[in-house]
Amino acid sequence: MRWRYILYVVGALIFFVGLSMLLPLAFGLYYRDHSVAVLLKSIGVTVSTGALLFIAFRSQRQETLRQSEGMAIVALGWTAAGLFGALPFFLEGGTLRFVDAFFESVSGFTTTGASILTDIEALPKGLLMWRSFIQWLGGMGIIVLSIAILPFLGVGGMQLYKAEVPSPVPDKLKPRIRDTATILWKVYALFSVAQIIMLMLGGMGFFDAVCHTFTTMPTGGFSTKNASIAHFDSLFMDGVIIFFMLLSGINFSLHYQMLRGRPLAFWKDGECRFFLAAVGGCIALVALDLSRYDVYDSIGEAVRYGAFQVVSIITTTGYATADYEQWPAMSQLILLTCMFLGASAGSTGGGMKCLRIMLCFKYCYRELFLLLHPRAVVTIKMGGKGVPDDVMRSVLGFLSLYVGLFVISAIAMGGLGVDFVTAITAVATAMGNVGPGFGSVGPVENYAHLPQAAKWLLIWCMLLGRLEIFTVLIFIVPAYWRK
Amino acid sequence: MKIVIVGAGEVGYHIASRLAFENKDVVVVDKNADALRRVSENTDVQTITGSGSSPSVLEEAGIRKAEILLAVTNQDETNLVACLVADMLSPTTKKIARIRGADFDQYHKTFQSQPPHIDTVINPEIEVVKTIERLMRAPGAADVGEFAQGRIKFVGVYLDRNARLAGVRLSELPEKIGQRRLLIAVIVREEQVIIPTGKDKLLPGDLIYFICEENQMSEIMSIFEKRAKPVKRVLIVGGGRIGYRLAVRLETQSINCKIIERSASRCAELAEKLDKTVVLRGDGTDQNLLSEENVGDIDVVITLTNDEETNILTSLLATKMGAAKAIIKINKFSYFPLMKAIGIEQVVSPRLSAINTILQHIRRGKVLSAVALKGEQAEVMEVVALETSDIVGTPLRRISFPKGAIVAGIVRGEQIIIPTGDSIVEPNDHIIVFAQRHAIGGIEKLMAVKLEYF
């Protein structure tokens, strides 16, 4: 492990996080609120720390990057981004404890959207913008962004990319990783612009439209309003946001193919079909359940609120237009399942990812089939191609780790004095990067009241979920530290 | 620039990593997913699993947009079909194929003019035989390459422990060796490539590269205290395709030649095809056989079996028993750094030869030939200076050359100039450039970027 080289790259990332604070600063200056001083201080600290590391270790530049070093850079880089991203919240007003500011920042970068703020609307505009902007940066990945715009990362770029976007079957859109990263960010930016325009057509102000776009596209879920999307109470806006949440939950390489003139790409992709079918099925079940118990006046409303909540949770966004705590048990359990299921691989959404679940189903089916025909040769296929055994192994390993870590963390939460429902759902929602849970962390509540230790635990869970476990967990494997 | 490589073997892998390092768009196609994983884990290229001779796989690899197709699998048939399919799908793509079968030798030209229209057919075995011949003609050299149709040689020699020049600064070199001008272009020291300045010293164990004219070579070699008798007697161990080709070449030069080959049937075949060569059946590592055949009087032992370890051991044994020197064939690149440590200086590799030959066809602009140095960290190129290029018309010292590159020679018509800072390159000169790996992109730009300017 060449730690000095790792610090050199992490320094560049910190520097970059500092520079990205210039955008909220511009909004702060425009609205002349008291976030300007806070942001200026944060920029000063962040940029100088980053520059210091970068310059101090610049002689350590290497031509190649090993896989273990790539993982270290990504894990450290994300932790550092969380720390420095917390500065504006920590310095503002001085009311927040450090762990709260860190929680808010990590929740932002990992696009979870769980908040410890009780009165969001009281924050100055500049900070609201920062809160949304870190989700937008974290959604496609700060490392992927750096690969696209910082050429010096070029050589080891692939190791970093694999550590940050650990899709089961990596698809490179272009021969070179830098071109791939650039394309993904271009598609992402293009959709963002489209959503801002659509929201403004619906009557949302420019500031709110930008903030909400910055938290929809990465499936983040921070809102600028205390009541989240329910604040706007508009069918049109619900529709626009559902549409863009769904887009963000689909593999971005499919978007690229569609924009290249292959509209059937969505349909031809097995995972995308599975994802859309899961969304449709869940919406239908929830809407039926809601109208059966007459939660809403008409079946139309049941569909509207059911659809929004289902899409928001399954894409791991976490916006809310209804308090699903009041819903019947079946609907709640479906939402809980959606928290685990998550969106497609290669999308900005979190969770276990549809692709892995699909492969797991096929694997289970094969086991059953082999009981009937012990001598049959069955290959697991995905899009007409056989899935190699090592991919299958890593998928099963991932799923067992995910469930195992969920259980351990939930037990630990219970041990910290959190009640049963809250402990289970807070961990599930943090690992899936969703946001709201059930119990005392439901859609109309927040995370402020949790004990400090529980917040640290959830911060760890959010990072685990965003970096898809292996990259974070590798650090606690003893073999990693052995020379 | 997009390049499709069919075959992820040693040659495909090394070319892919070279090109990816230079920021070219590379797609590698192979049937073997494991071989591809090695490529995609270590280099920034796209990989596609599938047969390189299948039209749909080549489509998927983007053959229609590719400028070059390299067919370098270990099967001639696959390479030929890949080129044929590429010729159908995308006639403008330049095609380079590795074809090893001796039966195809006479038809290389035919492949060019008729389908599959392969622009360049590369037979690494022919290249290796050429390299061996060059090494034999330059006794004492560890590496020899040719430029300007052989008129210029670039030569690498190891500096011996107690050589006269050991410890001398480059700036002191002219006094030390008299009037003769000698430009040392590159020093390879402990696997590091150094482009030296006047302040650098020559140390024992360095591999030193210089440029010289053909007729000066023995003179310059004597500066490095490398002298050897002309080659009269040769022992070849391993009668495979390369061994056979080499024996045929040596027969025409009336050099006394013996071949040791293990397989009886192959021995019979060789004995039938070769006239003057003595074919011996036996094992190259058999000490009795070697002493029976007077290995002590042999000028060069060349080990060419398919087994790397046998080659290494046989040549060590033969030199121990008194053979003047040994040239050995090595395929595994990971063994190269070891060769010096065990005292073997002259190494040839069919794969490295293939890579070298392929490289010159990939270089942009008017690059006539290019040769990779040992360990591939640096490259030597012969380039035509175009009138529009930045390098023409200004003294070399004022040209902003990329760091890690040096002009080692200028060829103007019949004249060969060893350049100084005041030398000026004229249009249509051929210049010989040494460049480290990271400087290659810069050199390519400097020489060729204005090509696209009309």
pLDDT tens per residue, range A341-387:
999 988 888 899 999 999 999 999 999 999 999 999 988 888 778 88
C-beta atoms of A67 and B20 within 8 A: no
Q: Which of B21, B41, B45 sits opposite A175 (nearest CB)?
A: B45
Which candidate, A418, A151, A267, places its Cα nearest to that of B23? Answer: A151
Sort B46 into a burial class: Cβ within 10 Å, 0-12 / 13-18 / 19+. buried
Is the pTM higher than 0.90? The answer reads: no
What does the mean pLDDT of chain A come to? 89
Nearest-CA distance from A253 to chain B in Å?
15
How many other CB atoms sit within 10 Å of the CB of residue B189? 16
Min mean pLDDT across A78-92, A196-210, B328-342, B365-379 is at: B365-379
Q: How confident is the model at residue B181 (pLDDT cuts 50, 70, 90)?
A: low
Q: Is A158 in contact with B21 (Cβ distance < 8 A)?
A: no
Q: Hey, what are B82's tokens?
A: 């890949």
Min distance A405 CA to chain B CA atoms (Å): 28
Residues of A with CB below 8 A from B20's CB? Answer: 176
Please tell me if residue B21 touches chain A, with a CB cutoff of 8 Å: yes
Mean pLDDT of A256-268: 85
Give the least confident one: A197-201, B104-108, B112-116, B157-161: B157-161
Residues of chain B with Cβ-Cβ distance to A169 below 8 Å are none
User: What CATH number labels B128-223?
Assistant: 3.30.70.1450
Residue recorded with tokens 């080692």: B408
Give percent of chain A with pLDDT exceeding 90: 61
Query: Are the Cβ atoms of A175 and B2 closer than 8 angstroms?
Result: yes
3-state secondary structure at position B144: strand
Q: What is the per-residue pLDDT for B453? A: 38
* Site from A155, A182, A385, A391 to mutate, B interface, most B CB atoms within 10 angstroms: A155
- Most B CBs within 10 A among A158, A182, A260, hence the mutation to make, goes to A158
Chain B neighbors of A176, CB-CB under 8 A: 20, 23, 25, 44-45
Q: What is the pLDDT of residues B12-31, one digit of tens each?
A: 888 888 788 777 889 999 99
CA distance A262 to chain B (A): 15
CATH number of B233-352: 3.40.50.720
Quickly list DSSP for A234-255: -HHHHHHHHHHHHHHTS-HHHH
Average pLDDT over residues A205-217: 94
For B16, the closest chain A residue by CA position comes to: A175
Provide, as residue numbers in chain A, all residues whose Cβ is less than 8 Å from the Cβ of B33: 388
- The yes-or-no verdict on residue A239 having pLDDT over 60 is yes
Decide if A157 and B46 are in contact by the 8 Å CB cutoff. no
In this structure, what token pair is assigned to residue A34?
């008291």
Residue contacts between A and B (CB atoms, under 8 Å): 26
Give one DSSP letter per residue of A149-183, joined into a string. Answer: H-GGGTTTHHHHHHHHS--SS---SSSSHHHHHHH
Checking if the pLDDT of B222 tops 80, the result is no
CA B336 to chain centre: 13
Residues of B in contact with A151 (CB under 8 A): none
B159 to chain A, minimum CA–CA distance in Å?
29
B33 touches chain A (CB under 8 A): yes
- Nearest residue of A to residue B34 by CA position? A388
Supply B40's token pair: 């995609």
Name the CATH superfamily housing domain B365-452. Regulator of K+ conductance, C-terminal domain (3.30.70.1450)
Q: Distance, in angstroms, between B204 CA and closest chain A CA?
A: 28
Q: Is it the case that residue A155 has pLDDT exceeding 60?
A: no
Instruction: List the single residue in A67, A158, A388 with the smallest CB-CB distance to B44.
Output: A158
Task: Tell me the shortest Cα–Cα distance from B9 to chain A, in angstroms.
Answer: 19
Whether B15 contacts chain A with CB within 8 A = no
Among the partner residues A175, A178, A388, nearest to B27 by beta-carbon distance: A175
Distance CA(A88)–CA(A479), nearest Å, equals 38
Closest CA to B298 of B283, B282, B278, B312: B278
The separation between CA A413 and the C-alpha centre of its own chain, rounded to angstroms, equals 22
> Are residues A176 and B21, on separate chains, in Cβ contact within 8 Å?
no
Residues of A whose CB is below 8 A from B41: 67
DSSP helix/strand/coil, B366 = coil
> What DSSP string runs through B179-224?
T----EEEEEETTEEE---TTPBP-TT-EEEEEEEGGGHHHHHHHT
Chain A residues with at least one Cβ partner in B under 8 Å: 67, 154-155, 157-158, 172, 174-179, 388
Question: Which chain A residues are within 8 Å of B44, Cβ to Cβ?
Answer: 154-155, 157-158, 175-178
Interchain proximity B44–A67, CB inside 8 Å: no
- CA angle in degrees (0–180, nearest 5) for B296-B299-B301: 85
CB nearest to B26's CB, from A155, A175, A388 = A175
Question: For B72, which DSSP code?
Answer: -
Show Cβ contacts of residue B193 under 8 Å, excluding neighbours closer than 6 positions. Answer: B186, B187, B373, B375, B377, B378, B436
Q: Average pLDDT of A109-132?
A: 91
Q: With contacts defined as CB-CB under 8 Å, which chain A residues touch B57?
A: none
Q: What is the pLDDT of residue B373?
A: 67
- Chain A within 8 Å of B439 (Cβ-Cβ)? no
Biggest CA pair distance of chain A: 74
pLDDT digits (tens, 9 = 90+) for B238-295: 988 899 999 998 988 888 999 999 999 999 999 998 888 999 999 888 888 888 888 8
Average pLDDT of span A89-105: 87
Tokens of A58: 């610049």
Check if B57 contacts A (Cβ < 8 Å).
no
Residues of A in contact with B23 (CB under 8 A): 154, 176
User: How close B3 comes to chain A (CA, Å)?
Assistant: 10
Mean pLDDT of chain B: 82
Task: Please tell us whether the domain made up of B2-122 is placed in CATH 3.40.50.720.
Answer: yes
Mean pLDDT is lowest, of A159-173, A185-199, A464-478, B18-32, for: A159-173
Taking the C-alpha atoms of residue A279 and residue A287, their distance in angstroms, rounded to an integer, is: 12
Which of A176, A253, A390 has the most B C-beta neighbours within 10 Å, making it the best mutation to test the interface with B?
Answer: A176
Compare B210 and A25 and report the one with higher pLDDT: A25
CATH topology match: B233-352 vs B365-452: no
ipTM of the complex: 0.73
- Model confidence at A166: pLDDT above 80: no
- Tens-digit pLDDT profile for residues A20-56: 999 999 999 999 888 899 999 999 999 999 999 989 9
pLDDT at position A94: 67
- Phi and psi torsions of B382, nearest 5°: -105, 120
- Contact of B392 with B402, CB cutoff 8 Å: no
Query: Choosing among A66, A167, A172, which should be mutated to test the B contact, i.e. which has the most B CBs within 10 A?
Result: A172
* Domain residue ranges in chain B: 2-122, 128-223, 233-352, 365-452
Q: B190 in contact with A at a CB cutoff of 8 Å?
A: no
